[in-house]
């Protein structure tokens, strides 16, 4: 078993509880980037075929991560928002059709759909706060004009983990497309695109996947991506990528058609290194440790007087995110106090969001809650 402390040589003065925002890079990832940068400095692209092998490896790693049937179903895009936009602007909408989302979505999974209003497409939001079964509220909004349901696997502010299997089943039964923003789940909790019957899944790598910003996976089933009209074209979106002389071209069946130009090779090297660390550690083990941390935090916070936990506490709805607020103290001053004590966290959903990763020691969670308690 790897020594986790060696892999995360974070500044020891920091208590880093912000993996739901942007994560620190593991040592392995930084070393891989350093090697790649040295190679680019001393040898340029002399060994470009090796870079392509790394890109292929990354697609296979991502396939394993989300349990996709094939690496051909995975495109590498810039970020989650670009992938959601590829779906939203690829579909041929009819006036009056609608999309169903929740009222807890991060702006990328709301604004993109709302922007379709100019085509007469309506975005309906299910009000899921403090609801026992949020999926049922989503289903109630569906009517004969619903073309697609789009949800976050885990909600960014509350940490609510949605029952994706249930939503996927409902979508299939009702011939509705199912789109999942998985950025708050991948790298934290296990994920299986086939089990949830998703048509589209997207996630950037800079949160729980421990990679830098700017490289995202975009999964689509062959049937679903056939429905998307391409809005960006380039030398790489064609079947015979290296045939620069040919004056004819055709699009590939694979998801690679969504990648129009040169890949983000730096991002590819980094995400691949982070994924190899996580796959070596084991996705089951990572999920176990993350849920143990969540449970530990919930127990500590439940013992504090005047603290209201905003995250769901039902086991099946838990994730790596725990959000809470102080009933008497202003959230801004609590956040400032935490910041001054080097607790790196976020203000979300009207509370303080803690998001430790699998390697975060429980002693740090205790310290962070102690600081909260001092303010009581
Ligand atoms: C649920 C969710 N989706 C998307 C994003 C970010 O999107 P992008 O990858 O486009 O920056 C975030 C970031 O906080 C998020 O929490």
Of the CA atoms within 13 Å of residue 219, those in its CB half-sphere come to 33
List of E strands, the chain: 15-16, 74-77, 98-102, 122-126, 146-152, 177-181, 200-204, 216-220, 307-309, 322-326, 343-344, 346-348, 351-354
Residue nearest to atom 12 of ligand 1 (CA): 106
**Cα 140 to Cα 70, 101, 184, distances in angstroms:** 34, 12, 25
216 lines ligand 1 (CB under 6 A): yes
297 lines ligand 1 (CB under 6 A): no
Residue nearest to atom 2 of ligand 1 (CA): 106
Going residue by residue through the chain, which has 376 residues, state the pLDDT in tens, using 9 for 90 and above: 567 778 999 999 999 999 999 999 999 999 999 999 999 999 999 999 999 999 999 999 999 999 999 999 999 999 999 999 999 999 999 999 999 999 999 999 999 999 999 999 999 999 999 899 999 999 999 999 999 999 999 999 999 999 999 999 999 999 999 999 999 999 999 999 999 999 999 999 999 999 999 999 999 999 999 999 999 999 999 999 989 999 999 999 999 999 999 999 999 999 999 999 999 999 999 999 999 999 999 999 999 988 999 999 999 999 999 999 998 889 999 999 999 999 999 999 999 999 999 999 999 999 999 999 887 5
Cα–Cα distance for residue pair 183/22, rounded to 1 Å: 11
CA of 211 to the centre of ligand 1 (A): 14
CA of 16 to the centre of ligand 1 (A): 19
81 lines ligand 1 (CB under 6 A): yes
183 lines ligand 1 (CB under 6 A): yes
The per-residue pLDDT for 189 is: 98
Residue nearest to atom 14 of ligand 1 (CA): 21
**What values do phi and psi take at 202, rounded to 5?**
-140, 150
Shortest-distance atom of ligand 1 to CA 21: 14
Q: What is the DSSP annotation of 239-270?
A: SSTT-TT-S-----SSGGGG--S---HHHHHH
**Cα 210 to Cα 119, 184, 186, 188, 219, distances in angstroms:** 38, 12, 10, 10, 19
Shortest-distance atom of ligand 1 to CA 79: 9
108 lines ligand 1 (CB under 6 A): yes
Residue nearest to atom 8 of ligand 1 (CA): 80
**Cα 13 to Cα 68, 268, 280, 338, distances in angstroms:** 40, 31, 28, 13
Nearest to 101 by CA among 92, 90, 110: 110
79 lines ligand 1 (CB under 6 A): yes
CA of 197 to the centre of ligand 1 (A): 22
CA of 97 to the centre of ligand 1 (A): 25
80 lines ligand 1 (CB under 6 A): yes
């Amino acid at each position: 078993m790897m020594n986790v402390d060696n892999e995360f040589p974070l500044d020891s003065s920091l208590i880093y509880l912000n993996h739901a925002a942007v994560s620190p890079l593991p040592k392995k990832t930084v070393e891989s980037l350093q090697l790649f940068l040295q190679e680019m400095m001393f040898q340029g692209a002399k060994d470009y075929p090796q870079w392509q092998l790394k890109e292929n490896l990354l697609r296979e790693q991502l396939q394993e991560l989300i349990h996709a049937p094939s690496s051909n179903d995975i495109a590498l895009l810039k970020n989650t928002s670009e992938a959601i936009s590829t779906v939203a602007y690829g579909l041929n909408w009819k006036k009056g059709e609608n999309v169903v989302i929740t009222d807890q979505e991060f702006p990328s999974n709301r604004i993109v759909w709302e922007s379709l209003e100019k085509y007469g497409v309506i975005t309906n939001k299910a009000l899921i706060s403090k609801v026992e079964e949020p999926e049922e509220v989503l289903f109630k909004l569906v009517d004969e004009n619903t073309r697609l349901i789009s949800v976050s696997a885990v909600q960014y502010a509350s940490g609510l983990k949605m029952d994706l299997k249930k939503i996927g089943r409902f979508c299939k039964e009702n011939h509705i497309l199912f789109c999942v923003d998985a950025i708050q789940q991948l790298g934290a909790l296990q994920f299986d695109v086939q089990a949830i019957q998703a048509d589209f899944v997207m996630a950037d790598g800079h949160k729980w996947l421990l990679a830098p910003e700017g490289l995202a996976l975009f999964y689509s089933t062959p049937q679903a991506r056939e429905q998307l009209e391409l809005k960006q074209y380039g030398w790489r979106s064609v079947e015979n990528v290296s045939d620069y002389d040919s004056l004819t071209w055709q699009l590939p069946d694979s998801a690679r058609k969504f990648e129009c130009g040169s890949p983000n090779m730096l991002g590819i090297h980094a995400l691949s290194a982070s994924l190899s660390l996580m796959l070596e550690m084991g996705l089951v083990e990572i999920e176990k440790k993350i849920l143990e941390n969540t449970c530990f935090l919930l127990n500590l916070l439940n013992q504090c007087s005047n603290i209201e936990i905003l995250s769901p506490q039902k086991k099946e709805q838990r994730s790596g995110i725990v959000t809470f607020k102080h009933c008497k103290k202003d959230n801004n001053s609590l956040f400032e106090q935490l910041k001054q004590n080097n607790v790196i966290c976020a203000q979300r959903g009207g509370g303080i969001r803690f998001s430790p990763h699998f390697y975060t020691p429980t002693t740090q969670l205790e310290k962070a809650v102690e600081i909260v308690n001092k303010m009581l």
